[in-house]
Homo-oligomer: A and B are copies of this chain.
Amino acid sequence: MFNYAYPHPALTVDIVIYTLRNAELKLLLIKRGGQPYKGKWALPGGFVQMDEGLEEAARRELEEETGVSGVYLEQLYTFGEPGRDPRERVVTVAWYALIPSDQIHIRAASDAEAVGWFGVDELPELAFDHSQIVQMAHKRLVAKLDYSTLAFQFMPSEFTLTQLQQVYETILQQEMDKRNFRKWVLALEAIEETGHKQREGQHRPAKLYRVKNPGRVDVIK
C-alpha cells in the first residue's frame, strides 16, 4: 500500500508506433484483454515505474511490444482529462515512434495479447481517448515531414531515391515530381551515395543511398 496526504493520479505512457509497409503507413495496436474497453484495440503503453524516466518508460514499452530499440521516439503530448479512464484519474504521456521498414520482423508481442498493424486509414474503434492521440500524432508526423528530416527515420540503412520518395508520397498522400524531388532531397545534403546498387526486376539498377546522420532529425528550411 502506498499512502499520500493528497490524491495522486496514475501515470502511464502510450506510444503510437509507426512503420511503412507495402506503401502504407501503419501503426501498432493491442487488443485489450481486461476491463475497461475489453476487446477494444488500444495503443501500446503502460504504467511508468517510480525509478524510470518518462522516455525510459516509453522505450521499455516499445521494446516489450515490438522488440525494437534505438529507433526514433519523440514525446507527443500529455493527456489528462479527468474521466478519460473510468477506473481512476490516469494521466498519460503520449509518444510516437518511427520504425524503419526493414526492422518489422519483430516478435509479435511479449505477452499473450493480440497485436496488429493497422493502416492509418483503416483503424478500428479505439479505447479511451486513443483516437485523439493518434490524430494528433498523425498531424505532427505530416507537419514534420515539411520542415525536418524526420522521414529518413523510416528508411533502412540503404535505400533508393524512389523508395524515399514513396515514403513522402505515402505519408503526405500526394504524388511528387521525380526530378524535383531528387533535386530537393539531394540539396539537403543529408544523404549520400553508398556506391552500391540495387539490382531487382528487369530494369536499370538503382543507386543506393544512406543517411549521413542516422539518429539525427534536423529542422530544414
Contacts and interface: CB of A to CB of B under 8 A. Distances in A.
Interface in A156-206: none
A50 B83 CA distance: 10
B4 A1 contact: yes
B6 A47 contact: yes
Size bracket, chain A contacts? 20 to 34
A48 interface: yes
Nearest to A77: B75
Contact of A89 (B50, B91, B146, B219): B50
Contacts of A4: 1-2, 4, 8, 10
A116 interface: no
Copies in the complex: 2
A53 B77 CA distance: 14
A3 B2 contact: yes
Contact of A78 (B2, B75, B81, B89): B75
Contact of A82 (B3, B52, B79, B221): B52
A6 B49 CA distance: 9
Given A4-B1, A4-B2, A9 B50 contact: yes
A8 B93 CA distance: 14
B3 A3 contact: yes
A9 B93 CA distance: 13
Interface string A31-54: 000000000000000011011111
Interface of A: 1-11, 47-48, 50-54, 75, 77-82, 89, 91, 93, 143, 146-147, 219, 221
7 contacts: A1-B5, A2-B3, A2-B5, A7-B50, A8-B10, A78-B93, A143-B219
Given A3-B3, A8-B10, 12 more contacts: A1-B3, A2-B6, A9-B11, A53-B80, A54-B78, A54-B79, A54-B81, A54-B91, A75-B77, A78-B78, A78-B93, A80-B93
